[in-house]
Amino acid sequence: MRISVVGSGYVGLVAGACLADSGNAVTCIDTDEQKIRWLEDGYLPIYEPGLEDLVRRNVRQKRLAFSTDYASVAKAQVVFIAVGTPPGDDGSADLRHVLAAAAEIARHLREYTAVVLKSTVPVGTTDQVREAMARLTEAEFDVVSNPEFLKEGAAIDDFQKPDRVVVGTASERARKLLAEIYAPFVRTEKPILFMDPRSAELTKYAANAMLATRISFMNDIALLCERIGADVDQVRKGAGADRRIGYSFLFPGVGYGGSCFPKDVSALIAAGRETGVDLEILKAVEHTNRRQKRALVDKAMRHFAGAIAGKRFAVWGLAFKPKTDDMRESPAVEVIEGLLGKGATIRCHDPVAEAVAEKHFGARISYAETPYDCVEGADALFVVTEWNQFRKPDLTRIRQSMRLPVVFDGRNIFDPEAMREAGFVYYGIGRR
Ligand code: NAD
C-alpha cells in the first residue's frame, strides 16, 4: 500500500518505519527541513532503540523515503497525521499543526484517501478536520481517528506488537484499509477495536489519564509512607499482587513527565471544563505531580538546612525516562532548575540526552561522560532517571569520589540498606 506519514517525530518516524518494514511504500513528510535532511543523510533526529537500523534498512530497500513536500499524498491510499499537539495557554490541545497538515493534505488529494489522525487530539477533532478539509477539496476522503499508544524507549516493539489498535470510523472503506494495514501487527490475536471517532479520541486520553493517576496515587502513598514510617516498596508489592490492581505503573518517583501525560491530563481537564464536567480526580493528579517534581529539592533543602548555595551536585539522568533522549516536561528539568535557583552548581550525566539538554540549559550546567566522572567532588548525587546502567554502580568508588556521601534517589533504584552499609546518607521516595 502507498502511505504518507505527516510529521516525522517520535510517533511519525516509528510508525513510518514500521509500516515500511511490513511491506508498504511509505513517505515520511515533515516541515522541518533540517530533520528531513538528516533523515535523508541516514541520521536520526531522535534517539529510539532500534529505530536507526529499521530506518536504514527500509530506506536501502526503497520502501521508506523522506520529504518536506506533500506531493506523495496525491498517490497515497492512506495518509497518517502524526504532528505535535502541544498544550495551549489554557491547557487544551493546540490543534494548529494538525489543521495546517490537514489543509496541506486536502490540497494534494486526488483519489479516495483515508486520512488517519494518529496525533492525540481532543474529542470532536476528527469531525473538525473532515469539515475543514471538505472546504478545500473535491476529492473523496474519510478522516479516521487512530490514536497511538506506543511508549518512547520501546516504541518499535509497541507499534509492532500493540496490546490493541483503536480505530474510530463509520466508513466501511476506511475500516477495510486500516484492517489491512494493521493485520501484520495483530497476528497474536490482539484486537483491532473499531468504534466511533469520538470514543476513539477519548480512549487515548482516558488511557493516559488512568496511567498518570496510578503514578500520582502511588506518589501520595509514598509521601504518607515517609510520614508514618511505612515502606512504599512493600506496600506496592502487597497491593499490586491483587490481580484487580496489578504491578504496572505503581512505582513512586519524581513525578511523571514526557510529551504525553502532562499535556494529555491537562487537555482532558480543559475538555471537562468546556463541557461543564469538573474532573476533580485529574486536578488532584496534576497537583500531586507538581509537588512530586519538587520532592528531591525539598529533601535536599531539609538535609542541608537550606544551605545549598555554592554546593556542587551530581545529577544522573536528564530524559523523562530511560532509553529516550526526550526531555519534554522531564522531572530532571525541575530538579536542576530548583537547585540552580538556590545557587548550586550542577554536573549531569545521561547516556543519550546530553545534546538535548545542552539546548535547554546551555552553559548553565556541565556534563560528564560517565556516571563516575559526574560524582567527582560532589556534595550530593541526585538520581532522576532510572537508566539500567545506574542500578549497580561501584558504591565504594562513588563514595570515595564524592566530597559528601549523600544520595537523593528519585527512582528508588538503590537498596537503602546497601547504601547505608556503603557509608551513604540515603534518601529514597517513600522509604523508611
Ligand atoms: P514530535 O514533536 O516528536 O513530532 C512532531 C513532528 O511534526 C515534528 O517533527 C514537526 O516538525 C512536525 N510537524 C509539525 N507541523 C507539521 C506540518 N504541518 N506538516 C508536517 N510536519 C509537521 O511529536 P511526537 O512525540 O511524535 O507526537 C506526535 C503526536 O503523537 C502528538 O499528538 C502526541 O501527543 C502523540 N503521541 C506521542 C507519543 C510519544 O510517546 N511521543 C505517544 C503516543 C501519541
Question: Is 399 buried (19+), middle (13-18) or exposed (0-12) by CB count in 10 A?
Answer: middle
Q: Determine whether the annotation assigns residue 204 to a binding site.
A: yes
Distance CA 84, CA 43 (A): 21
Residues 6 or more apart whose Cβ sits within 8 Å of residue 8? 16, 28, 29, 30, 32, 35, 36, 39, 45, 66, 82
Q: What is the pLDDT of residues 66-112, one digit of tens each?
A: 999 999 999 999 999 999 999 998 989 999 999 999 999 999 999 99
Question: Which amino acid, one-letter code, is at 142?
Answer: D
Q: How far is the CA of 86 from the centre of ligand 1 (A)?
A: 9
pLDDT tens by residue, 23-38: 999 999 999 999 999 9
4 touches ligand 1 (CB under 6 Å): no
User: What is the end-to-end Cα distance of the chain in Å, rounded?
Assistant: 57
Q: For ligand 1, is residue 325 a contact (CB within 6 Å)?
A: no
Q: Is 30 annotated as a binding residue?
A: yes
Give the contacts of 401 (CB within 8 A, at least 6 positions apart). Answer: 372, 375, 376, 377, 378
CA distances from 46 to 7, 43, 327 (A): 13, 9, 11
252 marked as binding residue: yes
Ligand 1 binding pocket mutation candidate from 85, 148, 157 (most atoms within 8 A of CB): 148
- Whether 30 and 36 have beta carbons less than 8 Å apart is answered as yes
> Whose CA is closest to 350, among 378, 329, 374, 381?
374
Instruction: Tell me, using a 6 A CB cutoff, whether residue 321 lines ligand 1.
Output: no
Say if residue 137 carries a ligand binding annotation: no
Q: Which CATH number fits domain 294-427: 3.40.50.720, 3.40.50.300, 3.10.20.30, 3.40.50.1970?
A: 3.40.50.720
Would you say the CB of residue 15 lies under 6 angstroms from ligand 1? no
pLDDT for the residue 189:
85
For CA atoms 36, 16, 160, 250, the dihedral sign is positive
Q: What are the domain boundaries of the chain?
A: 2-195, 204-291, 294-427
Ligand 1 pocket residue status of 32, Cβ below 6 Å: yes
Spatial contact of 139 and 167, defined as CB atoms under 8 Å apart = no
Ligand 1, pocket-test mutation among 146, 211, 259, most atoms within 8 A of CB: 259
Relative to the CA of 151, which ligand 1 atom is closest? 40
| In CATH, 204-291 is 1.10.1040.10 | yes
For position 153, what pLDDT does the model report? Answer: 94
Radius of gyration of the chain (CA): 23
Query: Is the CB of 97 within 6 Å of ligand 1?
Result: yes
98 Cα: distance to centroid of ligand 1 (angstroms) = 9
Q: Do domains 2-195 and 204-291 have the same CATH topology?
A: no
Residue owning the nearest CA to atom 38 of ligand 1: 11
- 253 marked among binding-site residues: yes
pLDDT truncated to tens, each residue of the chain (432 aa)?
999 999 999 999 999 999 999 999 999 999 999 999 999 998 999 999 999 999 999 999 999 999 999 999 999 999 999 999 999 989 899 999 999 999 999 999 999 999 999 999 999 999 999 999 999 999 999 999 999 999 999 999 999 999 999 999 999 999 999 999 999 999 988 999 999 999 999 999 999 999 999 999 999 999 999 999 999 999 999 999 999 999 999 999 999 999 899 999 999 999 999 999 999 999 999 999 999 999 999 999 999 999 999 999 999 999 999 999 999 999 999 999 999 999 999 999 999 999 999 999 999 999 999 999 999 999 999 999 999 999 999 999 999 999 999 999 999 999 999 999 999 999 999 997
32 Cα nearest atom in ligand 1: 11
Q: State in Å: Cα 261 to ligand 1 middle.
A: 14
Q: Is the CB of 293 under 6 A from ligand 1?
A: no
Query: Is the CB of residue 105 below 6 angstroms from any atom belonging to ligand 1?
Result: no
Report ipTM for this prediction: 0.99
Our answer on whether the CB atom of 334 is closer than 6 Å to any ligand 1 atom is no
Distance 118 CA to ligand 1 centre (A): 9
Distance 269 CA to ligand 1 centre (A): 21
Protein residue whose Cα sits closest to atom 34 of ligand 1: 120
166 CA from centroid of ligand 1 (Å): 18
Q: How far apart are the C-alpha atoms of 393 and 410, rounded to whole Å?
A: 16
CATH architecture assigned to 2-195: 3-Layer(aba) Sandwich (3.40)
Q: What is the pLDDT of residue 432?
A: 79
105: which 3 cell numbers?
A: 493534505
Nearest to 181 by CA among 6, 14, 8, 21: 21
